[in-house]
Amino acid sequence: MVPRAVRADGLADDDLWRYRSSRVALDAGFVAAHPVALEAGLATGVAAGITFGHGWTWGARASWARATETAIGWTVTHDDLRAGVVGGGQVSAGRGDLGVRLGLGAAGVHEVRGRVHGDVAGSQGSARTDRRTAWGPTVELDAVVGLHISGAWMMILSGGPSLAYIDGALHTGWMSQLGAAWQL
């Protein structure tokens, strides 16, 4: 009897967990945020971005999130659209990347107000549904944590406060994202 290493095909392979770091990363994920102009609720949606650099980074991001709230007589749906450029810094720590990113861009809110049971009251057209869209500048500050999983794949978690100026009023909020990234 001679002892020998036993391995299952591919399970003990160190190549499975090797990762590479690149200066270009594409990411996408799910978003949870405070609605840009709606006072209550939770907006959920999707976000995507591209980041260039290592150490000092820059890139672009876009997101869409929806929140629906019901009050006496009305159902209000907000679609929040955000797009902008980002810049920041990051450091590597083992398999992880820790960073801070500042984003400048535009936020748009498309609001649809529908009268609850408006058809019963005989409301028609604009008396039953009201639609409105507004755009304004936005600033976001995010803490970003990236974890290298395998090969070019990463898991990304980010979040932080946001500030938007829409319809002559300043709106504060927050946005968080959980997603995956692919390094080119």
The pLDDT tens digits of the residues spanning 130-179 come to 899 999 999 999 999 999 998 899 999 999 999 999 989 999 999 999 99
Interior angle at CA 106, CA 128 and CA 163, nearest 5: 90
How many structural domains does the chain have? 1
The SS3 of residue 17 is helix
Q: Give the structural domain span for 170.
A: 22-183
**Position 72 in a domain:** yes
Percentage with pLDDT > 90 across the chain: 62
pTM: 0.81
Of the ranges 105-114, 116-125, 157-166, which one carries the lowest mean pLDDT score? 116-125
Query: Residue 90 is part of a domain; what is its CATH number?
Result: 2.40.160.20
Whether residue 5 lies inside any domain: the answer is no
Does 100 reside within a domain? yes
CB 132 within 8 A of CB 78: no
65 part of a folded domain: yes
6 in any annotated domain = no
Strands (E), the chain: 24-33, 43-52, 56-71, 74-93, 96-115, 129-150, 153-166, 169-183
Within a domain: residue 13?
no
Residue 12 resides in a domain: no
